[in-house]
């Protein structure tokens, strides 16, 4: 199923300078009971964002109107833990189109790529500079250029390249997904299956 195309994204960013942000924080298990992909953004970072009585926690970044944008910037090892794609859905549904970190957990990264959220892995030093720049000016913008595979901190011009394989890059730019690809090689898959021991 096609998803949003990703080309060049220029936006301010929301900083979350915490390491090992796990998928249970991104979306706690008790909010995984839906049978449709709807409304997960409401529960993004639920227990960091709201008190037990559902009142917002004033000190959490998503409740601070100073910070906004389509880019989430997180600390090292972002998305560790469970395979729940709901975590990526929550990030997307809230309005983020890219997540920037110095290191991503594997499954979360794959899930993001499968639904059209771009994970951008950069050096720890650049990540630190981005956090500092946002702290100094919350309106500071990042430019993520997928065709060129670069991310730029526009206030200083500091730029880094990021890695993504050519196949996934093409998918994201065009809004293609893997299932369409696999559907088109079904006959090859069947022939392959016939030769397997089980």
Partner 1 sequence: MSKTLFDKVWDSHVVRKIEDGPDVFFIDRHFIHEVTSPVAFLGLKSRGVNVLYPERTFATADHNTPTINQHLPVQDPLSANQLKALEDNANEYGISHWGLGHQKNGIVHVVGPENGITLPGATIVCGDSHTSTHGAFGAIAFGIGTSEVEMVLSTQCIMQPKPKKMRINVNGQLSKGVGPKDVALYIIAQLTTSGGTGYFVEYAGNVFENMTMEGRMTVCNLSIEMGARGGMIAPDQTTFDFLEGRLYAPKGEAWTKAVEYWKTLKTDPDAVFDAELNIRAEDIEPMITYGTNPGMGIGITKHIPNAKEVEGGEETYKKSLAYMGFNEDDVMIGKQIDYVFLGSCTNGRIEDFRAFAEIVKGRKKADNVTAWLVPGSHVVEAQIKEEGILDILTEAGFVLRQPGCSACLAMNDDKVPAGKYAVSTSNRNFEGRQGPGSRTLLASPIMAAAAAVTGKLTDPRELF
* Terminal Cα distance for the chain, rounded: 30
109 Cβ contact partners less than 8 Å away, ≥ 6 residues apart: 79, 119
Interface residue with partner 1, options 111, 119, 142, 153 (CB under 8 A): 111
Q: What's the closest the beta carbon of residue 1 comes to partner 1, in angstroms?
A: 7
Neighbour-count burial of 196, counting CB atoms closer than 10 A to its CB (0-12 exposed, 13-18 middle, 19+ buried):
exposed
Q: x/- contact string, 22-41, with partner 1 (CB under 8 A)?
A: x-xx--xxx-xxxxxx----
User: Where in 127-166 is the site for partner 1 (CB under 8 A)?
Assistant: 165-166
Q: What's the closest the beta carbon of residue 154 comes to partner 1, in angstroms?
A: 26
Q: What's the closest the beta carbon of residue 161 comes to partner 1, in angstroms?
A: 15
The closest of 71, 121, 79 to 96, measured between CA atoms, is: 71
Interface residue with partner 1, options 71, 100, 107, 142 (CB under 8 A): 107
Interface residue with partner 1, options 10, 11, 20, 152 (CB under 8 A): 20
Does position 97 interact with partner 1 (CB under 8 A)? The reply is: no
User: Which stretches within the chain are classed as H helix?
Assistant: 23-26, 46-49, 86-94, 106-115, 124-136, 166-174, 178-183, 186-194
Does position 82 interact with partner 1 (CB under 8 A)? The reply is: yes
Distance CA 82, CA 53 (A): 26
Does position 188 interact with partner 1 (CB under 8 A)? The reply is: yes
DSSP code, position 170: H
Q: What's the closest the beta carbon of residue 20 comes to partner 1, in angstroms?
A: 5
Q: Between the CA of residue 110 and those of 2, 62, 64, 87, what are the distances in Å? A: 16, 24, 29, 12
Question: Quick one: tokens of 81?
Answer: 């833990």
The residues binding partner 1 (CB under 8 A) are: 1, 17-20, 22, 24-25, 28-30, 32-37, 47, 52, 75-77, 80-86, 88, 103-107, 110-111, 114-115, 165-168, 177-179, 181-183, 185-186, 188-190, 192-193, 196-198
């Amino acid at each position: 199923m096609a998803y949003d195309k990703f080309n060049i994204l220029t936006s301010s960013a929301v900083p979350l300078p915490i390491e090992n942000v796990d998928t249970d924080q991104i979306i706690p298990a008790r909010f995984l009971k839906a049978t449709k992909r709807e409304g997960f953004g409401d529960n993004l970072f639920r227990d960091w964002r709201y008190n037990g009585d559902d009142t917002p926690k004033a000190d959490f970044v998503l409740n601070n109107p100073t910070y906004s944008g389509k880019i989430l910037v997180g600390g090292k090892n972002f998305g560790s833990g469970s395979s729940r794609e709901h975590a990526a859905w929550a990030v997307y549904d809230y309005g983020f189109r890219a997540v920037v970190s110095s290191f991503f957990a594997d499954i979360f990264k794959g899930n993001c790529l499968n639904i059209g959220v771009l994970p951008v892995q950069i050096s720890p030093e650049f990540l630190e500079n981005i956090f500092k720049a946002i702290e100094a000016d919350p309106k500071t913008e990042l430019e993520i250029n997928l065709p060129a595979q670069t991310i730029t901190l526009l206030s200083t011009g500091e730029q880094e390249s990021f890695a993504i394989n050519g196949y996934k890059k093409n998918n994201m730019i065009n809004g293609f997904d893997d299932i369409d690809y696999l559907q088109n090689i079904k006959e090859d898959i069947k022939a392959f299956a016939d030769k397997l021991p089980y």
